[in-house]
Each structure stands twice: as structure tokens, then as C-alpha cells.
Chain A
Amino acid sequence: MNFEPKLDLDNPVGDHVATTTCYMCACRCGIRVHLRDGKVRYIEGNPDHPVNKGVLCGKGSAGIMQHYSPARLQAPMKRVGPRGSGEFEEISWDEAMELATSWLEPIRAKDPKRLAFFTGRDQSQSLTGYWAIQFGTPNFAAHGGFCSVNMAAAGLYTFGGSFWEFGDPDWDLTKYLLMFGVAEDHASNPIKIGIGKIKSRGAKFVSVNPIRTGYSAVADEWVGVRPGTDGLFVGALIHELFKAQKIDLDYLVRYTNAPWLVIQDPGAADHGLFARDENGDPLVYDQTSATFASGMNVDIAPALVGSRTLADGRTARPVFELMAERYLEPEYSPDAVAEDIGVPAEDIRRIAAELAEVAFEQEIILDQPWTDWAGRKHDKMIGRPVSMHAMRGISAHSNGFQTCRLIHILQILLGSIDCPGGFRYKPPYPKPAPPGLRPHGAPKDVHADEPLGGPHLGFPLGPEHLLFDGENAARIDKAFTWEAPMAAHGLMHMVIHNAAARDPYGIDVLFMYMANMAWNSTMNVADTISDLTAKNEDGTYTIPKIIYSDAFYSEMVPYADLILPDTTYLERWDCISLLDRPISEADAAADAIRHPVVEPDRDVRPFQEVLIDLGARLKLPGFTNDDGTPKYPGGYPDYIVNHERAPGVGPLAGWRGKDGSKFGTGEVNPDQLDRYIENGSFFVQHLKPEQAYFKHANLDYLNWAVEVGFRPTATPTIFQLYSEPMQVFRLAAEGHGEITPPELHRDRIAKYFDPLPFWYRPFEEDMVSTAKYPLHAITQRPMHMYHSWGSQNAWLRQITAANRLYIHHSVGDSINVKDDDWVWLSSNQGRVKCQVQLMDGVNPDTVWTWNAIGKRRGTWGLDDDAPESNQGFLLNHLISELLPEGGDYRYSNSDPITGQAAWFDLRVSIEKADGSGETSPKFEPVGNSSQPTSLTKLAYGADFKRRSK
């Protein structure tokens, strides 16, 4: 038999295709959604889009199952059973909004800080933050406090940029990529595209990571460091470069504070600060004139070395000398650090040599003239083609801020920031280092019935920018206090703990969006649930009211009193704003929108729509006209088009001006959203070739950045190798200045606020017995679920429905376990029972698992016998939100500078468990009678097939 049937191969994909922006993670790729009869037929990458250029990852390609998930909330609900029971009553939107208004109105009229408004995977922070300002509460932040605030802050304080949305390796030209602690990342598809490019081109890709999976698996070299020692590794590389004199001195003199003179007068109030002239400019020693000069001057030759005597007779030394002395110390030599890192000294030396060889012997010269900040013309752009990228493995440690500073200093010493082949800023970055925003929320900023005095989050330059109410923290999360002075994204992980403890004060309403704080987004799940359900003696809840908005029936939903159901990403307007977390590329500024491509089939509303409505009901100034009518009656699209943060500056930068001809600043354009939709739901403004590199000091770029509203001035961003604000805090800890820390916090501030970055042992490792807890335990998200919500997705959970604990063969041998055996994993906080899988590609002192696979019974539309709830587990149960007891004071388990949650500092022990096939702890199932029953069979495309026949 051989019969070839005739095939109908020309079926149109659907009857309609709409472009919008993906929301399966934080990457925000352009997508084309093919629809047939109003149903989603197919989602593919938009080839024209600057982020993903047509490709789409495993999450985005499973978007259909997210959109039609049975876990979607159906309608507004109010709680009728006790918190955690999952007993809800469906209510109308009118009732829901009236309820929310009735809870919030009296708070605003009396004491706005008694509202704590925190958002999770929020991609609209410029709106949610603005709303919180208008409400007047000091208590707002998003999830950055447990994501990567220490790295964002470290970069912004050092060079006015950072990784991820802030910048990328020069994928097209780099010859050597050093990647630290990256599993997946915000830039999901750009990194994958980039790795494909550089490997195919023959550039070398080195991955520094305790685990050899994902990107690390395809690295040309895998450096399996012990968790938390990346800073030591980088310190040793810097040591080698200094020793070998492989430093780009020209670059340091032009673009950094390396020649700035630091006052050497121990005990004085200005010790360690920059010597400055009468204008406040930092002083350098100019070799041409043989005198002191302003470091900001153009025609000078500042000395990098040499102690100088200042006019007042005191000594000052250039930053370069202080750095060289720090990193040439034997404690940073490869031989001294090799054992701690778990990498042979010869490998560290070799990698340092490779970096130097690529940077200085394989330099790239582009025949591209450009003009520097001082107006001097240059014929060529010279590149040192070494680039770096870093993420979770750095940020989730208590030494992450200083480690990240070390990584940037390594890049700067090699001359590789924003040069061809190096690490490139993405507009609107670079900003000044640090950016000019200061935090608001001190009592002088907070008044009944008034907006906050300014934005919540910012970059303190010293104790005068901390937020106190008398001796107490002004914010519920204690951000911007001595416990976390540079908490530029807040400490969302401490909000529930502090609110329940009424420390620093109690609140009346906890309002959260898209943050699973009763489960995988919190440290110490059991105690967090206790905090959410804690009651006063009179039987009322300690946290009196909880409002929560989510699209899905997550573990947090049952703990809220009022549920405001959100839509899926295909049913909503959104604004991917340059005021927020942009999607720019190194060669272009870009922003984007989402718009509804399918109508909701449930009684749900986009959260941003609800927030704007709530703002109008509460008569918040930014959301109400003078006559009391709503300012944005058209909801979120109305706001996106018509809101102006400053004259001519709005959420979207493209097609501004009455005729849509302006970019960045310009009058409101009523047709703006139509223009976006016509263009594929995004806007791109390409840079000119002469603006593409050295953006921190490139006159054409800087002038343009001022013109379009990205920068206040065209003065260059000077890289702060030595961070003076850190020294200001340190001086306060020594008793200098008007605002000084209480005795209790002084040693900690003095130690960690070192103006030159250094490596220190992560806190938990230092505080618990490493003999009792000999292993590190860390997590990562699988690529097909990173920053996503995969467990209710019928396709993604077929790929991963239960997680194993991955351990090195040597660990398995030591406790006599093989694949799928059960073990107890214990920390100073608790213990978890889980199944192991043995592997080779993991640092032998490290165990790890996939995060957020474990689910609580009753949630996410899953059956009670789903693997997620019975074999899947969370490491969160082992991680405390507080450091171990021991000192005079129990600090939060966070980076001491920024308050970043230190959930990778976890130390554990492992022992074989009895054979029973069930995880522990298992929490009681929550009720879910408000949710539809999940299907037992899916044949999603059957209708399409029938119709096409």
C-alpha cells in the first residue's frame, strides 16, 4: 500500500491577528496573537519587535493555556469564612469598589501611613507608585526588595546603570562573556538570542554558577563556585589585573573618579570624603600645571598616584591608590581564596589572563567618529570586548551589593563599560551615579488627605535622606533606616511580619497586587500565614483588612478579605513605560503597550483600571478634576494617553505632540494608542551611530537624552569606583554629623558601608554552625516557568509538575541515597521532606531545587492529588525572614545596605528519610468553591480542526 492523501495546506492561521506584548514573564516580548472566532488559535513572536525579534520562549508559546486556565478568578469576592478558609461570596464590582473605598477613605483622612500598598510582579509601577503618592501613604514598593535591589542599587551608585533593563552585553561584538549566577533572567529571549550569537561566532562564554544547567550547560567554561563567593572570585580577578598592570588607565582618567583625591584624616568628620574646591568639585592633582584642579575640568592630566598635601596641610590620596592597595592585599590573591570559592587558583589566574588578553590584545576599533562630553572629536571608537552579566546568584545573598560593585569595578578597570564589545547601556540609562531621586515618606512628607511629598523610592546620599518618624522607622518595611539605608526598592518581604508585630506601627489595610506572599514569594511560609491570621484579644485580625488583586486563585487569595480579580494579559491595556522598566535595546529607546485582543468571559477588570477608578472614588488629586469628577473616565487607556508626569512627559514616549511627530516630550496626542497598535504595539527610537557607545560621556547622546527627558543635564556620568555616599554613612557610624545611628547599629554600618567594595561571608553562613549545616541550598526557576505562573498551565506542568532536590553524587553517597529517595533537609528555621536526584554538574557543597513548583492544595485549579502539592516542595519553609538569634538585635535576613532579601544564604543539613512518598510540611487544603471545576481532559484545538474541515 502506498497512498498519499491530498492535504489542504493553505488554511489561514486564524481570521484575525493582533499584536500585543507578552506577559508570561518580565521579558515583555512582542507577540502576534492569531484569533479564530474570538478564540486564541496561536501566539508567536513578532519579528519586528526590538526585544525578541520574532522568537518566543517556552512560556510565551504556552500562553494559550495561561489565558484559558481554570485557576482564573471569576468575579469580585468578599471573604465570608475565616482567613485561609477560602470561603468567599461573589459580589458586584460596585459593591467591591464601595467596600474598598469605605476602608481606605478614613485612613487617608486620618493617617495615610496605615495603608500599606505593595505590588509584586507589577509592570505598571509608574502608575501604582503614582497612586500611592496621591493617596499619601509612605508605604509603597514592588517586589524589587526580594528580587535584585542590591544589584540595581550597586550599579546605579557605581555607573548610573545596571544589568537587565538597564544594559546588556554587546551581543554583536563581544569576544568574551562572563556571566554570574544567571539561570533564566528578565531578558529571557534577548539573552538566548545573544548566547546563540556569541557561541556561533566563536566568542568565549564563561558561566560562574554553582549549578551547570540551562545557560551554564552551553558555556564554554563552567566555573562552579560555592554560593556567595562570587565577590571573592571577582576580587581575585581584580587582584591579578592590578598585579599584572592590565588596567585601562586612560579610561579610568577620562570616565571615573580614580584620580579624585580622598582626604586621609582618620577621626575627622571628613575623613574618606573627597577633597573639594570652593565650588564643591572634587579635586585632582593636575600633572600639567603641577597644582590641584577641579576633577571636572577638561584640559588636565590628573595623577592616579601620589599622596598630596592639601592647602590645609592634610594628606589626600587618589582613589586609584586606595583601590590598588585594597585589591593587592594577599587576602584577594588566587591562592588565598581558591579553597573558599571552590575553584583552583590556576583557573582564577588563567581567567584573569584571558580577560586581560581579550580586553587589551583583541581590542575592537570602529571607524565611527564621535564627540565626547567636552566637545572633543574622536575618529574612532575603541572597544575592549569583554562583557559581563549577572543576576540571582549575586542578588539573593547578603553580600550582593558589594559583590555587584566588585563586578562593575572589574568591568571598569578593563575599560569595557559602554564600549564596542563591552557592556552597553540601554536608554534611558545611563543616569547620574547615583540618580538624583531621594526617598520620600518621612513625617514631613506625610499628611492627612494630602499626597506624599514626592516619590517613595530613591537613592540616599547620607543619613539626612533616611526616613524616620522620631526614633522609629517611617515605613512599615523599615526601608531607608539604619537597618537598610539604601533600600531603593523597599523591603516587601518584611511588610507582613512587621504589620503583624505592629513594629514600627500597626496598619489598617494591607493592599497587595500580584504577589504570592502566602506561599512562594515569602520567606518562612508558616509564620507568614500565622501573621496573616493573627488576632487581637477581641477576636479581630491584627492586620484588620487585606485587599488583594490577582488574576489567578493563588495561595494568597484565601488570606484576603476582598478580592479584586484581574484579567489575563490578553484582555488588558498596559503600558511598558520608559518611566518604569523600559524595553529599550542598547541602540534604541523603546516602549510598548498591551491592548485587549480578547474580551474577558468573566466578571473581571484589569487592576490598573480598578486602581484609577478607586483613585477617583477616593478623590485623590491625581485622579480627580477640580470639580470632583474623575480625571480619567476612560480608564487606563485614558490615563496612558492623557496623564502627564511633567509637562509633555507621559507614560508613552512615542508619537507625542498634536500630530504625533515628537518623541520623548510633547503634547498629548489623542491618537497615540492607535499609532502604537498600527505599529505592532511598540515604539522604537533608534540612536544614531555616533550616539551608540560611550553614552555616559558622549555629547550627542547626552544632549539628545536631555532633549527627550531622560536626563536632567548633559554633564557626563562619572563612574564612582569609590562611593562617597557609603563613606558618609560610615562617618555617621563613627559619630560624625547631625544624624548618627544608635550604638546598636554602629558597628554594622561602619563595617559594611565601605566605599570600596569588599567581599564578606554571607550572614547566615557566619552565624550558624557550618558543621551542623554543612551545605548551601539555593533555588532557580526552570526556563519554562521563570517569573511566570506555570503550575496551572496544562502544558507547562506536563514538563515540570514536581521538583526534586538536586545533590552532588558525593553528597548522595555520604548519606546512601539514590535517585528518587526521600530525604529531610533541615535549616535553623525548619525542615522539609523531599526527593533527591543525584548529579555531577553542581558545586559539591551545594544542593538546589526548582523554585515555586510546590503548590498548596486547593489552589491554582489543581486537584488535591496533584504532584505539585504532594511531591513538590518549597525551600521557602527553611528560610527565615530574620537572621538567626545571637546578636544584640535580630536584623532581617537581608543585605545590610539595601535590605535585599538574602534567600540564597540558606545553610542546610541533609539526612535520609523513611520511604514514605509524601512531602512535608503539607498545609491543610484551602477551600475553593468559588472556582470552576477543572477539566479532566483537554482537546483545545478540536474545534479549530472541525471548522477548517
Chain B
Amino acid sequence: MTSLPAPTSKKLGLVIDLDICVGCQACATSCKEWNTGGYSAPLSDHDPYGADPSGAWLNRVHSYEIGEGEDSRTLHFPRACMHCEEPDCVTVCPTGASYKRQEDGIVLVNPDTCIGCKLCSWACPYGAREYDHDDGVMKKCSLCVDRIYNDTLAESERIPACVRACPTGARAFGDLGDADSDVSKSVASRDGYGLLEDFGYKPVNKYLPPRPRRNSNIEAGTQASETIPAADNSATEKLFAWADRVLSR
């Protein structure tokens, strides 16, 4: 068993806006691309051109429908490690390879001590841990730990690859332990939530729910019929009379 650090004050994580995620997979492939040669290398792929292609991905996007009838909608849902405050994937680790960093709360795997027993993947309710066959160890989202502290990158680039790539701006990175951070403020103002919070792992990552459908853009109290007059047999004549005015070119 591996122990957790004392509760961290810094809680780095992601906030994902489900209202504007269009499911384009940019976060998934940019993650794969960065990490295939980075801290989590190589994220190997098996049977890549065959019947059952599979590989290690640290971030996957699921598209599915929820609700019925009027409430039905299509949702794009990116899923990766939530960097939980109390993650069972760490405590279950028999070798200490899985750990939560004291300084920022990132949950990582030490590839040098991981034995690939996969206990952590059973413990994680989010399915966020993947086995890298080539490496024989478990891989997971590191919040691009080799980007966010990387002094060889411009400061504006020190963000996870998925956030860097996301075309709609649906992904934000920051300190969710700081109530004044942009990410914390967006969670507060948009009723952000953690996935499967009932399980009690205290996921740090948060999702911003889709905004309600809007089948009207007109101020409350204004009926469409007031803006558009009811049918009238003389619509053409009325229109011509209305348009018969002096208009300068």
C-alpha cells in the first residue's frame, strides 16, 4: 500500500467546458502525440494496422446521447485522470510507484518502480489508467508535468498539450486549490462539478455543464407573434406601401 501526502494546498487540474466541446479529438491526439515522446513515452500501439488496433491513450473523448425527447442532447465527454484528492489508485499501489505529489497534487506513476500489476486501473472508477504494453508499466495523465514546469518552453506554452491544442477553448488548466484562480472562478460561476463525486475520491478536475437549451432569444414577455404580425391577405400591398418611401442610394 502506498500512502497519500497530507492534503495539498495546490491542486492543479483541468476544467472542461461541456457546453463548447464539439468532440473533435484534438485533446486526445495532441495528448498522445506529446506523451508518445515525453514523460509517458512511448504509449505503444498494438496491431496498429490490423483487425483490432489498440494503444495506450491518456485522454479519450466519448460522444453519446443523454436525456429523452425535448431534453435529449448529444454530449462530447473528454475523460482522463481527475487527479483526485483521495485517489484509491495511489493507495492500492503495492510498490509505491503510484504517488500524489505534495507540491501540486498531480497523481503520477514512477515507471522505474511500477511492476504493471494493474491494481490501480481496477481501483480507478474513471478508467483513467492504461497499460503500456511496450513499457510494461501503467500510464496516466501527468498534466504534462514535463511541459508545465519546462523552462525550455516559453511561459505561455507551459500548459498541458490538450489545453494547448483545444480549438474551442473548452479546456482550462490551473490551480483549483486557489479560489481566486480563473479555473476556480469558472467552476463557481458555472456550477462546475466533479465526475462521480459520490464515490468520495474528491476529483480535482471539474466539468462545466452544458448551458440550457435556448429555443428563444427574445426578451421574456415578448411573443413571437408580436414581432411578426399575423397572416394578412393584403401582405403584399401592405409591404409595398411600407417600402414606398424615399431612400437615398
**Contact yes or no, A303 B45, CB < 8 A:** no
**Contact yes or no, B156 A47, CB < 8 A:** yes
CB distance from B99 to the nearest CB of A (A): 6
Tell me which residues from 103 to 128 in chain B have a Cβ below 8 Å from any Cβ of chain A: 110, 112-113
CB distance from B135 to the nearest CB of A (A): 8
**Contact yes or no, B24 A784, CB < 8 A:** yes
A3 within 8 A of B: yes
**Contact yes or no, A796 B29, CB < 8 A:** yes
A1 within 8 A of B: yes
A890 within 8 A of B: no
State whether A56 and B26 are in contact (beta carbons under 8 Å apart), knowing that A196-B170, A217-B74, A243-B235 are contacts in the complex: yes
Residues of B within 8 A of A306 (CB): 244
CB distance from B224 to the nearest CB of A (A): 4
Tell me which residues from 837 to 861 in chain A have a Cβ below 8 Å from any Cβ of chain B: 839-841, 861
Chain B residue at smallest Cβ distance from A241: B228
**Contact yes or no, B169 A200, CB < 8 A:** yes
CB distance from B68 to the nearest CB of A (A): 7
**Contact yes or no, A254 B72, CB < 8 A:** no
Q: Which of B29, B75, B156 contacts A784 (CB 8 A)?
A: B29
CA distance A43 to B33 in the complex (A): 8
**Contact yes or no, B167 A56, CB < 8 A:** yes
Residues of A within 8 A of B238 (CB): 245
CA distance A45 to B1 in the complex (A): 42
> Mask for B237-249, Cβ within 8 A of A = 1, else 0?
0111011111111
**Contact yes or no, A218 B210, CB < 8 A:** yes
B202 within 8 A of A: no
> Mask for A795-806, Cβ within 8 A of B = 1, else 0?
111110100000
Interface size on B, residues (CB 8 A): 104
Residues of B within 8 A of A321 (CB): 240
Residues of B within 8 A of A13 (CB): 152-153
Residues of A within 8 A of B72 (CB): 840-841
Residues of A within 8 A of B166 (CB): 55
**Contact yes or no, A942 B134, CB < 8 A:** yes
CB distance from B116 to the nearest CB of A (A): 15
Tell me which residues from 569 to 613 in chain A have a Cβ below 8 Å from any Cβ of chain B: none
**Contact yes or no, A938 B55, CB < 8 A:** yes
**Contact yes or no, B24 A783, CB < 8 A:** yes
**Contact yes or no, B165 A840, CB < 8 A:** no
CA distance A796 to B25 in the complex (A): 9
**Contact yes or no, A353 B227, CB < 8 A:** yes
B220 within 8 A of A: no
A58 within 8 A of B: yes
State whether A218 and B152 are in contact (beta carbons under 8 Å apart), knowing that A9-B145, A357-B218, A794-B48 are contacts in the complex: no
CA distance A267 to B27 in the complex (A): 63
Q: Which of B22, B102, B113, B249 contacts A254 (CB 8 A)?
A: B249
CA distance A2 to B228 in the complex (A): 69
**Contact yes or no, B249 A244, CB < 8 A:** no
Q: Which of A11, A54, A58 contacts B24 (CB 8 A)?
A: A58
State whether A220 and B214 are in contact (beta carbons under 8 Å apart), knowing that A301-B248, A941-B38, A944-B41 are contacts in the complex: yes
CB distance from B202 to the nearest CB of A (A): 18
Tell me which residues from 137 to 183 in chain B have a Cβ below 8 Å from any Cβ of chain A: 145-146, 149-153, 156, 161, 164-170
**Contact yes or no, B218 A799, CB < 8 A:** no
Residues of B within 8 A of A217 (CB): 22-23, 63, 73-76
Tell me which residues from 40 to 89 in chain A have a Cβ below 8 Å from any Cβ of chain B: 41-45, 47, 52, 54-64, 70
**Contact yes or no, A218 B21, CB < 8 A:** yes
State whether A57 and B26 are in contact (beta carbons under 8 Å apart), knowing that A3-B99, A301-B247, A358-B217 are contacts in the complex: yes
**Contact yes or no, A218 B19, CB < 8 A:** yes
B12 within 8 A of A: no
**Contact yes or no, B249 A301, CB < 8 A:** yes
A7 within 8 A of B: yes
CA distance A288 to B33 in the complex (A): 68
Instruction: Output the residue of B51, B113, B167 with the most chain A CB within 10 A.
Output: B167
CB distance from B69 to the nearest CB of A (A): 8
Residues of A within 8 A of B218 (CB): 350, 353-354, 357
State whether A220 and B213 are in contact (beta carbons under 8 Å apart), knowing that A193-B167, A840-B65, A940-B37 are contacts in the complex: yes
**Contact yes or no, A214 B23, CB < 8 A:** yes
CB distance from B123 to the nearest CB of A (A): 16
Chain B residue at smallest Cβ distance from A213: B74
Q: Which of B26, B110, B133 contacts A61 (CB 8 A)?
A: B26
CB distance from B155 to the nearest CB of A (A): 12
A249 within 8 A of B: yes
**Contact yes or no, B19 A302, CB < 8 A:** no
CA distance A64 to B39 in the complex (A): 18
State whether A5 and B5 are in contact (beta carbons under 8 Å apart), knowing that A783-B23, A784-B24 are contacts in the complex: no
Q: Which of A1, A243, A249, A934 contacts B247 (CB 8 A)?
A: A249
**Contact yes or no, A305 B235, CB < 8 A:** no
Residues of B within 8 A of A288 (CB): 246
Q: Which of B29, B133, B242 contacts A245 (CB 8 A)?
A: B242
CB distance from A196 to the nearest CB of B (A): 4
CA distance A2 to B225 in the complex (A): 68
Residues of A within 8 A of B76 (CB): 217-218
**Contact yes or no, A794 B244, CB < 8 A:** no
**Contact yes or no, B42 A942, CB < 8 A:** yes
Residues of B within 8 A of A939 (CB): 42, 44-45, 134-135
A333 within 8 A of B: yes
State whether A11 and B152 are in contact (beta carbons under 8 Å apart), knowing that A193-B168, A220-B214, A243-B235 are contacts in the complex: yes
CB distance from B134 to the nearest CB of A (A): 4
A94 within 8 A of B: no
A325 within 8 A of B: yes
A12 within 8 A of B: yes
Chain B residue at smallest Cβ distance from A204: B217
**Contact yes or no, B4 A192, CB < 8 A:** no
Residues of B within 8 A of A302 (CB): 247, 249
Residues of B within 8 A of A941 (CB): 35-38, 41-43
A743 within 8 A of B: no
CB distance from B170 to the nearest CB of A (A): 7
CA distance A221 to B73 in the complex (A): 10
CB distance from A176 to the nearest CB of B (A): 7
B221 within 8 A of A: no
**Contact yes or no, B48 A945, CB < 8 A:** no
Chain A residue at smallest Cβ distance from B66: A840
**Contact yes or no, A243 B232, CB < 8 A:** yes
CA distance A196 to B167 in the complex (A): 8
> Mask for A169-210, Cβ within 8 A of B = 1, else 0?
000000010000000000011001101110110001000000
**Contact yes or no, A212 B74, CB < 8 A:** yes
**Contact yes or no, B36 A12, CB < 8 A:** no
Tell me which residues from 65 to 100 in chain B have a Cβ below 8 Å from any Cβ of chain A: 65, 68, 72-76, 95-96, 99
CA distance A212 to B210 in the complex (A): 15
A471 within 8 A of B: no
15 A–B contacts from the bound complex (CB under 8 Å): A5-B112, A10-B152, A70-B49, A217-B63, A221-B213, A244-B229, A300-B248, A301-B246, A302-B249, A349-B225, A354-B217, A783-B24, A798-B48, A863-B50, A939-B42
The chain A residues found within 8 Å of chain B, CB to CB, are 1-5, 7-13, 36, 41-45, 47, 52, 54-64, 70, 176, 188-189, 192-193, 195-197, 199-200, 204, 212-218, 220-221, 240, 242-247, 249-250, 253-254, 259, 287-288, 297-306, 320-321, 324-325, 328, 333, 346-347, 349-350, 352-354, 356-358, 783-784, 792, 794-799, 801, 839-841, 861-863, 865-867, 934-942, 944-945
Ranked 9 nearest A-B pairs via Cβ: A58-B25, A192-B167, A196-B168, A941-B37, A1-B96, A794-B48, A217-B74, A941-B36, A945-B41
Other than the known A7-B146, A287-B246, what 9 A-B pairs have Cβ atoms closer than 8 Å? A2-B3, A2-B5, A5-B112, A62-B32, A199-B211, A216-B74, A357-B222, A841-B65, A942-B44
The chain B residues found within 8 Å of chain A, CB to CB, are 1-5, 17, 19-26, 28-30, 32-39, 41-51, 53-55, 57, 63, 65, 68, 72-76, 95-96, 99, 101-102, 110, 112-113, 133-135, 145-146, 149-153, 156, 161, 164-170, 210-211, 213-218, 222, 224-225, 227-229, 231-232, 235-236, 238-240, 242-249
